[in-house]
Amino acid sequence: PDERRWWKEAVVYQIYPRSFNDSDGNGVGDIPGIIEKVEYLDDLGVDCVWLNPVYESPGVDNGYDISDYRAILDEFGTMADWEALRDALHERDIRLIMDLVVNHTSDEHEWFVKSQSAKDSEYRDYYWWREGRDPDKVAASPNRTTLDPDDYDTPDGVNEVPPNDWESFFGGPAWTYDERTGEWYLHLFDERMPDVNWETKALREEMFEMMEWWLDRGIDGFRMDVINLISKPDGLPDSDDPTAIVRGADKFVNGPRIHEYLSEIYDRVLAGTDSMTVGEMADLTVKQAKDFVGEDGDGMSMVFTFDHMRLDMTDAGRWSYHEWSPRELKESMSHWLEGLADDGWNSLFLNNHDEPRMVSRFGDDGEYRTESAKLLATLLHTLRGTPYIYQGEELGMTNYPFDSLDEVRDVDTIKNVRAAQRSGRLADEDVMDLVRYRTRDNARTPMQWDDSPNADFTDPDTTPWMPVNPNKDEINAADARDDPNSIWHYYRDLISLRKERDVLVYGDYDLRLSDHERLWVYTRTLETDEGRSDTLLVVLNFGGDETVFEPPADLVGTDASLLISNYDADIESVEQTTLRPWEARVYDLA
Ligand code: TEU
């Protein structure tokens, strides 16, 4: 049912604090820097901010390795700064959701330090510790990397292989041998990010208390990091599926107690609050998503799914490339829009801090950068779901021209590329093309505020932690706000349209001309209280070619006006027409 919720009507703006705005000139973005830009967010019209992690962390994975859940990383500022940001946002009716990272902690978290210290530590079962295995006794499994103990980072004389064959998302085995107690510990990401053990009740209680602590500080919800990884199967068995996105994913994604843990989180912390949750869930089916979202699910407001983020990959995983087509994007996203149409809700995004810039990946960051950025924005803001704007997307910021791997900071990129080169899966001459195309650092270069040195992200004579994109002279917020035809103003218009027209939020999504290779055509229809139906027709021409649009027979000749478009066109009715490169039109049907 279409019960009204603030998070269905909201446009969410994602801030990666390290790269957003640096107030003290040390080259790293910070919370006071975000406060300086709250008016910018208010002018854009966004309703909610998703703040990537700002907690105490050694920074192995830019804050996703948390060493203290209740402290602010001093590079980002103080808890007082955070409270000032919360208040500055709330004063302007902008809500704030925080990143919840409870699948793992940093190895510097006090729980892990204690857990690691002794086998009989009371914190031992806060994490996953297991004996290694004798390579001679391990059945050769079809897809194990190696059974040679020398391929693992164990001291001389330790003739063991890890407890199972799972691999890390960052490349390499998901287990590391610890000499202190002669056991291995599990980490689905970096070895400095040990997975916590949700089987342990005391650990679950700690996580519930931490979540309540943040809700008590007035946040409006959580984005839940890799939340469908927190339940691991009994016995931690080897993988059975060599095609999984990373080895073992067939075992540790959507594990046996995932619904129990998620509904416990909802019941213990979230029920009865007006908070919003969005669960990051790779490798999900619509059926599974329905069990996670909504009151009759585990209470999640919505999920981030990644089918549409994998169209340009082969089965070899993220460090591969595969040609994709607009039709595949249309089919992939429509599958979710139709699947969660009745009981559930969708998130709408085409980039974030883990993905390349969307105009470079799904649009054209050359000749038609402005037109294609506006088309993609039209898509995200006229589909049924909650749109997410990743910082800089509203400027049409592009990928960065990395020259060498030395310019890249991202642990995910560096470790995966090295592993792919070692295994021979990635030839040296192909490395930089793939890194430039795929690296998460494309999304982590500093926000481009104006055309001054360092784009006013930090002081002119400071070296920012990541280089500023050289195209800041053409692409920056100051110029964009002065140009009524900019991508920024187009986003601002789309955001205000969603506030004016309920049909854009609650209207049914009906895909039309579904088998067209390049056109994505759909209607949004809402029965109004007066019994009238409010209908919009969205027509998107993906690609740089002109395309003839032959309207569906039932719509031809309908009186219509143009609600918004990235080109000029005087429209009085829905007729056959030739659409220009990347032309997007939203018809307001009479
Ligand atoms: O990302 C989850 C995740 O699966 C990513 O590693 C993803 O596969 C890859 O980055 C490209 O999509 C979350 C956070 O968003 C990411 O920044 C963290 O590195 C990761 O979890 C570990 O916390």
Task: Answer whether residue 286 is part of any domain.
Answer: no
| Domain identity same for 24 and 169 | no
Sole residue written with tokens 């990051």: 280
Which of 58-62, 386-390, 528-532, 584-588 shows the lowest mean pLDDT across its residues?
528-532
Nearest CA to ligand 1 atom 3: 226
From the list 369, 328, 301, the residue with the least C-alpha distance to 566 is 369
394 lines ligand 1 (CB under 6 A): no
Tokens of 428: 């040296």
Instruction: Decide if 319 is inside a domain.
Output: no
* The pLDDT value given to residue 316: 80
Of 391, 381, 334, the C-alpha closest to 512 is 334
- Supply the residue whose CA is at minimum distance from atom 7 of ligand 1: 354
| Alpha carbons 166 and 233: distance in angstroms, whole number | 12
- pLDDT bin (cut points 50, 70, 90) of residue 421 is confident
**ipTM here:** 0.95
Convert the pLDDT of each residue in 528-581 to its tens digit: 888 889 999 999 999 999 999 999 999 999 999 999 999 999 999 999 999 999
| Contact criterion met (CB below 8 Å) for 245 and 317 | yes
Annotated catalytic residues are 225, 280
The answer to whether residues 496 and 506 belong to one domain is no
CATH code, domain carrying 173 = 3.90.400.10
Strands 68-72 and 55-56: antiparallel
Whether residue 159 sits in one domain with residue 81: no
Q: Domain containing 421: what range?
A: 409-438
For residue 318, which atom of ligand 1 is closest to its CA? Answer: 11
Out of 186, 201, 231, pick the residue that ends a domain: 186
- The answer to whether residues 2 and 92 belong to one domain is yes
In-domain check, residue 23: yes
Instruction: Over range 293-320, report the average pLDDT.
Output: 91
Q: 67-104 pLDDT, tens per residue?
A: 999 999 999 999 999 999 999 999 999 999 999 999 99
Residue with the smallest CA separation from ligand 1 atom 22 is: 64
* Residue 512 in domain: yes
Which pLDDT score is estimated for 157? 87
Percent of the chain with pLDDT over 90: 87
Q: Indicate whether 478 and 393 sit together in one domain.
A: yes
**Ligand 1 centroid to residue 189 C-alpha, Å:** 8
Q: Of all atoms in ligand 1, which is nearest to the CA of residue 245?
A: 8
Residues 10 and 96 both lie in one domain? yes
Residues 28 and 91 in one domain: yes
Ligand 1 atom nearest 101 alpha carbon: 23
The pLDDT of residue 315: 82
- Last residue of one domain, picked from the residues 186, 206, 229: 186
Atom of ligand 1 nearest to the CA of 309: 12
Cβ–ligand 1 contact at 225 (below 6 Å): yes
* pLDDT at position 142: 54
Give the separation between CA 198 and CA 194, rounded to whole angstroms.
13
Contact 354 CB / ligand 1 (< 6 Å): yes
| 456 lies in the same domain as 520 | no
Calculate how far, in angstroms, residue 451's C-alpha sits from the geometric centre of ligand 1: 31
Residues 494 and 573 in one domain: no
Beta strands in 152-292 (DSSP E): 175-178, 183-186, 221-224, 276-280
Segments in 355-461 forming alpha helices (H): 358-361, 369-382, 411-422, 428-438
Tens digit of pLDDT for each residue in 439-478? 999 999 999 999 999 999 999 999 999 999 999 999 999 9
19, 82: one domain: yes
Q: Which of 564, 129, 149, 514 is nearest to 378 (CA)?
A: 564
CA of 315 to the centre of ligand 1 (A): 18
Q: How much is the pLDDT for 506?
A: 96
Q: How far apart are CA 32 and CA 14, in angstroms?
A: 16
User: Is residue 334 a part of any domain in this protein?
Assistant: no
pTM of the model: 0.97
- Please give the backbone phi and psi of residue 154, each rounded to the nearest 5 degrees, phi first: -115, 155
Q: What is the mean pLDDT of the chain?
A: 95
Q: Is residue 422 part of a domain?
A: yes
DSSP 467-501: PPPGGGGTS-HHHHHH-TTSHHHHHHHHHHHHHH-
Residue 1 scores a pLDDT above 80: no
- Ligand 1 pocket, 101 CB below 6 A? yes
Q: 164-180 b/e with 16+ CB inside 10 Å = b?
A: bbbbbbbbbbbbbbbee
Q: What is the CATH number of the domain that holds 363?
A: 3.20.20.80
Q: What is the mean pLDDT of residues 421-438?
A: 91
For ligand 1, what atom is nearest to the CA of residue 65?
Answer: 23
Residue 413: the pLDDT is 96
Last residue of a domain, one of 131, 156, 186: 186
Q: Which among 226, 305, 312 is the best mutation to test ligand 1's pocket, defined by most ligand atoms within 8 Å of the CB?
A: 226
CATH of the domain at 552: 2.60.40.1180
- Residue 354 C-alpha to ligand 1 middle, in angstroms? 6
Q: How confident is the model at residue 145 (pLDDT cuts 50, 70, 90)?
A: low
Number of domains comprising the chain:
4
248 belongs to a structural domain: no
Q: Are strands 183-186 and 584-589 parallel, antiparallel or unpaired?
A: unpaired
Distance 155 CA to ligand 1 centre (A): 30
pLDDT of 449 reads 98
Ligand 1 atom 23: residue of nearest CA = 64
Report whether pLDDT(139) > 80: no
Residue 93 DSSP class: T
Identify whether residues 555 and 528 lie together within a single domain. Answer: yes
Residues 21 and 131 placed together within one structural domain of the fold: no
Q: Is residue 550 part of a domain?
A: yes
Phi/psi region, residue 398 (left: phi>0; alpha: psi -120 to 50; beta: rest), is beta
